[in-house]
Every structure is written in C-alpha cells, then in structure tokens.
Structure 1
C-alpha cells in the first residue's frame, strides 16, 4: 500500500496545466517504494491528456471542478461569456464542494491535495482537514480580475470578411470592477486555503499568498503599454522571504490550529521532456520519417523546420507498437472552399440565421456546461474551414485565417521575377513648360520610384526554400479530407503533423516555433532551446510572466497579429532563429552526448520534497 495518497486537481483550461500536472504526477510515481505515492488526477480535461502519468499508475476522474475563460480564438477572450461561465459555476460551487470533500475523506482517504490553479481543490482540502499545495505560475483570481482592464483588444484593421464577422460577434467590452470583485473574491478565498505555493517559472504575483500587490490585477498593468508597471516587475525579482504572507486558513472545526506557516518555494520548470534519441542524427531522422517528412528534409544543416502550433494537440506519445501516422497534405480536389459561417442573427441571402443553442462544445470540454449568455463563437464557429488551406488563406487550427502571400523565394538573395503593377508616369514636359510643371512631374517620378515594392518587403511565410513548416493541432475533419496524391492548397514546404504527435519531440527537432503565448508551449521551447515566435494574448495577464521567462531563459520574438494574419511571418522567424541559434546548437550537441538531461533529476528532488513536506504537515498539524 502507498504510504501517501495525493488528489491532484487540474484546471481544465488549456495545454499548460495538463502537461505540467502529468509531468509532476509522473515524477511522483517514478519514486521507488516505499516513497511511491498513490496519485488521483481530477480534471475536466480529457483523460488522454494525462497519458504519460496514467501509464505510470495515476488514476483519473473526470469532474467539473473549475470555470474556464472562454476563448473564441487562441489569442482572444470573450469577457462577457467568461463572466457568465464563472457565475454559473459559483451557483453550483457548494454542491460540488460537498461531493469533493466526501470523495477525499471517505473514498480515497487523501493525505494531501495538489492543485494546479483549481481553487476548488484547495477549498475541498481545507474542508476535509487535509493540507493542500498550490502548484502554478499564476492564479485565476488574477485572470478574472483582469477582465476589468480598460485595454480594448481590437485588431488595428478588419479588412478580411471573416475578421469583420468575428468582431461583430465578440466586441471587447470591459467588465465593471463592481461586478467582478465579489465573483473574484470566491476564487481568491479558495486559494487562501492553500498551505504551500510551489511557484513555477514564468510567474506573476500570486495575490492569495503575498499581501502585495493586491487585486484588482488591472492595476498591475499600464494600459498604454500593456506591460507590468515598474514596481510590479521589481517585486517579481524579490526572494519569497521578502514578501509578507497571509496567515493560514484554519481547518473548519479542527481542535487545534495549524502549527506550520505558509510558504512560497520556487521550483524548476515542469515540462514533459523529449526522447533523448531525438537529438542524435539517426534519432532525428527516424522521428521525422515516422511523421512523414521526406528524407531530403532530415538534415539540419540543409533544412530548417518551423513548428506552427496554436493549440489543439493530442497529448499522446508515439505508439510503442509501431510508427505514428505520417504527416499529410490536404487535397484541393476533395471539397469546395467553405467560407466562415454567418454569425448568429446575421442576415444572409436566405434570411436571418437564428443563434445556435448554447452547448458544452463552446468550452472545449464536454463536461463543462456553458450557461446561456451573450453569443460567443468558438474558432470552429466563426472560422470554420474543413481544409487547412484555400487558394488565398491558411486556416491554422486555433487561429484566424492568415493570407497566403506570394511563393517563398528560392533563397534570400535569389528570387523569382515578379510582375508588379505600377502607375504610368506622364512624359516629361517640354522644356518650355513652367518650373511648376517640371517640379510636379519630377516629384511624381521620384515618388513612383520610391513607392515601387521591393521584393524583400513583400509578405513571406517562410524565410526561403531551405525552410519547411509542420502544422499541429488539425481536427479529425481536416485530417480526413486528405487524399493520397491529391493536389494541395498548402504552400510549398508545409506539412501536417499527425494528431498524436509527441509535441516535446517535435519541438526539439524544430528550429523555430510559431504559436500563442502559453505555459505549455513556452516551457517546451525553453526546455529544448527552441526559439519561439509568439502572437500576444493581451487579455491574459499570465503572459507578462511568460514573456519574462522567455527573456531570462529562452528566445522570444513577438509577431503582431496583423503580420500573422497577413502571412508576413518570415522576418520574425529569421530574427528568432538568429538570436537563438547558438543556444539551440549547444542544446542539440549536449543532449546528443547525453549531458543535457537534467529534468528527471530535478523532478525526483521535487517529488521527494513534496513527500517530506506532506509527512511533516501530517505530523505537525491536527486534521
């Protein structure tokens, strides 16, 4: 029998929470007997997300244990619908809490609760009179509080019809602080019940532990620059002992008070590591071949790889019984172009379309019922296209359509001839003409010469033909549209990753990754020294900590939304590759030699520390 039983509550919001929960659970379950604990994972995220730790013995229970922020796109937030989700969850909170307390005390006899940003897990632990550990880099009281910011998340231009539809559907309107504050207090009070904060890299202030800075989090950020104020940045550099912490919340009905103070302990990056073999030339080639990349693209000296990932990955390792499904290219012969569906209650040629009923699909997980509220489409509603590419656009899963520019040049200095449309310059007037006339026409000629587009200034997806791109997160619908030998609308050099590709391996072989700014992707890029070109999520306050992590430990280059959607990626890719090339080459060399594998050692030390803390807490506090 395991000596300790952990219940690990994982927020259902996103890739980062799930991957790091699975990583820490795996570290705990790799401990030898008698230290090896029992681990129960509780989340609304699908079971397959935690496949790594389940293979090692973790048990999984699906439960709706936290609200989620509603994201119509990978880098957009629907504030009104997010608040509606929070209100609906809080109405059911007491009933959910009662069920969780009974499960902790009577069913699994838990000794401690671990929680990755799920405030209800900390509440349940306190009610069950067992200690709880918060493992995170941010908390959702800060996230929801930030929905009151006066920063308006509106693109600079709306030239594309699809984008215009999206803006009409989801106007970005700040939520009044008076409405948010009492709702956020429920979340904040839950986190206050945690006894220990294991603070991950990429952190921002955790207002339920340190007394400063207080909520609302909108006051942490300068709305003119969308950056933390100088004093907030300065506070992040302080050691944990410099903060004044809130006192512990006592167990309800306990005979004795908690005798141990609350703590903040910084911990290393929690991340799934790539297979060591992927850093060797043979292992790299075998991995790329297993996902369908042609052999002539396997040599890192002649081919550079861009990974394009805005979410939607399936978190499974490649099958042990055989090779994973190879990558595919989508055929243009299979179906006509499907344009974005009309927004709810928008007039079409056939009349007015009714608003679709609210459904659980809006949240991304079928177990979270989204309450009725203001219409808020998902990316599948607004930008639904069954193919990854049309003749004019790329439809990367989780992101808005990006324009397909002219073909990538053959090399940075040798490019195909382009026919450029220019104005006709009137003939130079007769010398007898007035000085005014000569000045006018000379000015026009100079303006025309200056305004002629230069090839290097034209939008490019990839820097040159030595680059290929691998797109992740395709839907089953998009995947099934492939036809062997069919002609593809994907740009030359673009490939589609299998849905079950193991992302740490793919990130490791990549030279640059393009995606949204989230913990899971940032952590895997930092771990593999892969430069990251990111599109900002300005309404997610967590991103301020992630930018800081990239600045300190990785390579990050921001790509504006306008540039992403215009298909003008190449400049940022080149910059990121140049800035991070030295670290990437050193990482590949070290790991190929077997000297770069440190995550397992860090994970084992962390797991043993958690075991010791739990044992000490159990003997030092009354439950």
Structure 2
C-alpha cells in the first residue's frame, strides 16, 4: 500500500484530546508505509511533542469553540453559549478555508477528535472522515439547559489577583432550550457528515451516529441522582455493531446540475482501545523512579517506595503562588487525627493561602502560546472558601467507586496551639509518609522570585516557601511517568487523567463537574476498570483531602502495587497499531471503491 496523507483535527478544549491524538498519531507513524500526519489544532504545539518527534506536522488553526470553565469544575453556561454563537457565525468561512487546505495538501482522509468543523470540511473536499472520541460537543452543549444548578464558584466574591477588585460570581442559570436547539443542531449536523466512528473507552452516547439515545442530553441524566438513566447505561454496554445508525450524507455534486455523489461505504461504528501515552521504560525500576523524583526536586531520602505520592492536577488551569503562607512542621507520626480542625481551618493563614493556590483560578489560554503568568484577567478565590452549605463539621463528603465501608464519626477534643499548623496540614495529606506534587503552576520561578524579594518588602523567606512535603511539577512534566510514581491522583474527571490512571492503576480522587456530560461515561469506566473517590467541592476548597486520599489508597493499593510489579499491563502499543492498520485499510478500501464507481 502506498503512503497516505491524513489530516488529524484535535479539539483545543482540554488536554485529554491532545494526549490521545498524540498517542494515535504515533501509532500511525509507526507503521511501515511512512504515512504523513498533519495535526490541526488550537492547542499549543508542545502538547503534541511525542507525535511531532515521530514526524507529525503541526498546524495551528481555530477549529472549534470551547466550554468556558472559570474553575476546573465549574462551567459558565452563558459565556460558553456566547463563545459558541460567535464561532458559528464564522463556521461557513472556516469550512471553506479548511476544505481548501485539505485540497492543497492532497489529504486522503480526515480524522477528528472531536472537532465537528473537520467533517464539514472533509465533506466539501469530498474525502472520507473518521470520528475518534468518547463524546461529542453537541451532547456537551445540550446539557446546559438541565434544571439542576451548579454552585457558583464557592458562593464567594471572585477577586482579581492584581488589584483585588471584587466581582460578583456569575449565577448558574440554565440556558433555555429555545436558545440551545438551533446551536446544538448545527454541531450535530457537522458530526452527521462523519463516515466512521471509533468509540473510545469511557464513552457517552454519540447521537450523530446512533439514532437512539437522541438529543437533548438532558434526557439521559436523572437530575436527582445525577447519574445516567438505566436505558442509557444499557445502550453503552451494547456492541456498536448492533446500533441503528443515521445514514450517510452524499458528497456534493461536481457541478450544479449533477446529482449528489453516493459514498462508496456505509457509515459504521466500532469500539476502539484505550488511547494513552506510554510511560518511559525504566519508570518502574528503582533507578528510573529515583531519576524522575530527582527531576521534581524530591530529596533522595524520599525516593523509596514507602513514600506515598499524591499528585494534584486540575488540567487546563493555572495555579498561583499565595500572597502569604507559613510552612507547617511535618508531624512525625504516620497516623494523624482528622478531627477538631474546623475552627483552625477557618483561621489558619496557611490553609487560606493554599486554598487560594489550589483553587485554580484562570483558564489556560486556549492557544497555549506561552507559559506566562497572566495579569489582570486572573480570577482569584480569596481565603479559605466557605461553601453555601457545609457538610458534617468532622467528616468531608465523598463517595467511592467501587463503594467502600462508611467511615465512623470522630469525637471532638482539644489540641495545643503549637500543633495547629500540623493539624491543618493533616487535613490535606493522610500522614507523614505522604508528599504532594502539584501540577499546573504557571511558572515555578514565580515562587523563587517572590521568596528572594521577601526581605525587600519586609517579609521573610519562610512566608513564600512551599509547605513541607509539597513540590511543583515542571510545566512540561511527562504525565505518564508521574502517574507511574503516583499513589493517588486528585483532580477533575477528563479522558487524559482517567486513561492514565486506568493504565497505571492509580486511584483517582475527583471533584465532579455534573454539567460536563462526558463525566458520566468516565465514571462508568472508573467503576469498571479503576478506583474513583468523589470529593465534594466543599471538602476540596477547604483543603480537607486526607480522608478521601486515604480511602482511595486503601481501595486501590493492591492493584497499584501489582501494576508496579508488572501485572495489569495490556499491550497498549499492539492495540494502537492494530487500530491504526484498520483505519489505513478502511481508507484504502474507500479509495478503491471510489475508483471502481468512477470507471
């Protein structure tokens, strides 16, 4: 077979799209035919580094709108709709531009994850197209009319990080169906032009292929339980070959008086394997683990496996250095109490500052053009957030996948003032054997600069140091390696983090995003193949992490240790190569049938 030219469109919304596009592009480029792969995206080139290293050609283009998330787990419905409306006004022009580019590079096929514009461009250029995803954005947007409300960001004032200007939080108001329907229909029609669907693990219904379940996605979710309806779950466990699919849309005619061109193959839907980047070969060796931890600044005495590592990662967000914090002393006992701390939490300056730091306060520029620390556009959540309705004062609220026994109530007591910082720290990490690696800090130099300037403004270096046991991951940290050394991940549910947790058998503590319908499918994947513990927003924002982290480790430790010993390691590379060969075969069959029909 002769080499093909493939245009791979990647949504700029979220890191997960880039990780799996990079993974699959690598599989295609590893085939013996030396295919050409263009990656087209508004995401920055650096996130496709593993693919471009093998020869993928990157092209920057605005190909899809984005869902606006001022916090990692909060969706701004109204602003997201404004962005969508703006993008759709330019849709026809962009389709023409992309179709012309496809002709210029002589593309044989379009792949897309999951930018709908790509299928319209492929259709106009009269070439086949493949949708590779676990969800589509018509479903994402259609859920924005659902009646249950998200909390506004912590029910506090949002504060600009430069001038401390107070802004009222945006209310969480459902979008009317009258507004949504014509917008969602345009996205749906874009996906209808795709010719083959490859369904990734953690999927939700893809309504542009399967006739049922149909849009709107509000029909799929039980608002009271915030779970998929049983019939939706039943659909997701069926073989896609049993789905009743929407028919193909014929290509436009070659000239106005000619009939539409019937496509040579019927539409089809197939299950795909987990697309995930591989860790480096030596990361599961003592030497590889030590090398990697040294690159994070972790001292040699913490490299042995008895040190447990919590990774804090809310992808797509920027974390900021708090204006003032005090480093707490680490308790020596590996068993620390998780009670008597509510009052201290409200008054302790370190907790307030760290809550600011970890509450992720601004979206990363969708183009990702730099790693700069943003200026006046920062959204800042001040202090230790006080949620509208606190859970039990002694026990943070979380649920576990799979379920775990209910924890008992704790009794109150008293602690000395000298133990205050240590006790507050105990809310975050289970005991002194744990350290934390924080991802998403815009530039770790910010911490160093502020520390060196502390004396000039009357402060001390201690005011600007990280708390003991906390480390900043470099911006370009290779997440599959970090997941390999991690014992628990704390973050939001997205394909990138879930797939890497499943692959590395890392227990996952997550803060829910109920308005992002992709989450419902990812939770089912975790239930089937991993360990997930849901932490309430209140517990996360208050820094009450330790109980959920302990619970996740207890549920997932055995499998994690077995993974490090070489078990539970399917050959992802072989699976990906087979998927790549199947796609290439499909494209060649399409070309052969097209030639037959034209003769």
> What TM-score bracket applies, with the shorter chain setting the length?
0.7 to 0.9
Aligned counterparts of 2:425 and 2:575: Cα–Cα separation in 1? 46
Give me the whole-angstrom Cα distance separating, in 2, the residues matched to 1:514 and 1:144: 26
Matched, 1:113 2:110: yes
CA distance in structure 1 between the aligned counterparts of 2:290 and 2:317, rounded to whole angstroms: 22
Equivalent-residue separation in structure 2 for 1:310 and 1:199 (angstroms): 25
Q: Does 1:135 align with 2:132?
A: yes
Partner Cα separation in structure 2 for residue 512 and residue 363 of structure 1:
24
Superposed CA deviations along residues 188-224 of structure 1, whole A, max 9, x for unmatched, are: 0010000100100000000000000111111111111
Cα deviation, 1:266-305, whole Å, max 9, x if unaligned, reads 01111111112000111111111122111111111x2100
Q: Which residue of 2 aligns with 1:620?
A: 593
Rate the CA distance shift 1:160–1:188 in 2: closer, same or farther, 3 A: closer
Of 42, 47, 50, which residue of structure 2 is paired with 1:52?
Answer: 50
**TM-score w.r.t. structure 1 length?**
0.76
Does structure 2 conserve the Cα–Cα contact (< 8 Å) formed by 1:313 and 1:500?
Answer: no
SS class of match (1:567): coil
Deviations 1:450-499 (A, max 9, x none): xxx9x999971000001000001111273553648942453321111112
Quick one: structure 1 residues 67 and 460, their matched pair in 2 at CA, closer, same or farther if it must change by over 3 Å?
same
Q: Structure 2 unaligned segments of length 5 or more: list them.
A: 255-259, 327-348, 354-361, 386-394, 396-409, 453-459
Matched, 1:145 2:142: yes
Equivalent residues in 2 for 1:99-110 (5 A)? 99-105=97-103, 107-110=104-107
Q: 1:200 touches 1:266 (CA, 8 Å); kept in 2?
A: yes
Sort the Cα spacing of 1:469 and 1:393 in 2 relative to 1 into closer, same or farther, 3 A: farther
Q: Deviations over 1:63-82 (max 9, x none)?
A: 11111111111111111111
Contact 2:139 / 2:215 at 8 angstroms: preserved in 1?
yes
CA shift at 1:3, angstroms?
Answer: 1.6
Structure 1's 393 and 508: CA in aligned 2 closer, same or farther, altered over 3 A?
farther
**Alignment match, 2:416:** 419
Q: 2:313 maps to what in 1? A: 309
Is 1:36 equivalent to 2:34 in the alignment?
yes
Q: CA deviation at 1:257?
A: 1.1
Local SS of the residue matching 1:83: helix
Are the equivalent residues in 2 in contact too, given 1:330–1:486 (CA < 8 A)? no
Structure 1 residues 287-326: aligned runs within 5 Å:
287-300=292-305, 302-312=306-316
Structure 1 residue 184 displacement after superposition: 0.6
Cα 1:210–1:331, aligned 2, differ >3 Å: closer, same or farther?
A: same
Please tell me whether residue 10 in structure 1 is matched to residue 10 in structure 2.
yes
1:507 aligned residue: 483
For structure 1, the residue ranges without an aligned partner over 5 or more in a row are 315-327, 341-360, 369-376, 386-391, 395-404, 406-412, 422-452
Equivalence for 2:516 = 540
1:610 aligns to what SS in structure 2? Answer: helix
Q: Which residue of 2 aligns with 1:233?
A: 233
CA gap of 1:458–1:508, structure 2 versus 1, over 3 A, is closer
4 and 299 in structure 1: CA distance in 2 versus 1, 3 angstrom threshold: same
Q: CA deviation at 1:617?
A: 1.2
CA distance 1:221–1:329, shift in 2 (3 Å): closer
2:74 to 64, 73, 76: 76
RMSD over aligned CA atoms reads 3.5
Q: Is the partner of 1:481 in helix, strand or coil?
A: helix
What is the CA deviation profile of residues 123-167 of structure 1, one whole-angstrom value per residue up to 9, with x for unaligned ones? 111111100000000000000111111110016964787699999
Instruction: Trace 1:419-498 onto structure 2 (pairs within 5 A).
Output: 419=416, 460-476=427-443, 478-479=446-447, 481=449, 483=451, 486-487=461-462, 488-498=464-474
The answer on whether the counterparts of 1:64 and 1:367 sit within 8 Å (CA) in structure 2 is no
State how far apart, in whole Å, the 2-side matches of 1:113 and 1:480 are. Answer: 46
Deviation of 1:330 after TM superposition, in Å, equals: 10
Distance 1:601 1:561 in 2: 39
Q: How does 1:183-198 map to 2 (within 5 A)?
A: 183-198=183-198
Structure 1 pair 72–419 and aligned structure 2 pair: CA distance change class (3 A): same
Q: Note closer, same or farther for the CA distance 1:86–1:277 as it changes in structure 2 (3 Å cut).
A: same
Equivalent position SS for 1:275: coil
Q: Cα distance, 1:231 vs. partner?
A: 1.2
Please name the residue that 1:154 is paired with. Answer: 151
> Would you say 1:169 and 2:169 are equivalent positions?
yes
**C-alpha distance in 2, partners of 1:534/1:362?**
19
On the 8 A contact 2:42/2:60 being kept in 1, the answer is yes
User: Are 1:260 and 2:265 counterparts?
Assistant: yes
Paired residues of 1:202 and 1:549 also in contact (CA < 8 A): yes
| Aligned positions, number | 515
Q: Does 1:565 align with 2:541?
A: yes
Q: Secondary structure at the match of 2:12?
A: coil
* 1:272 correspondence with 2:261: no
| TM-score relative to the length of structure 2 | 0.79
Bigger CA radius of gyration? 1
Question: Hey, what's the Cα distance between the residues in 2 that align with 1:393 and 1:457?
Answer: 12
Deviations 1:371-422 (A, max 9, x none): xxxxxx999622179xxxxxx769xxxxxxxxxx9xxxxxxx9xx971389x
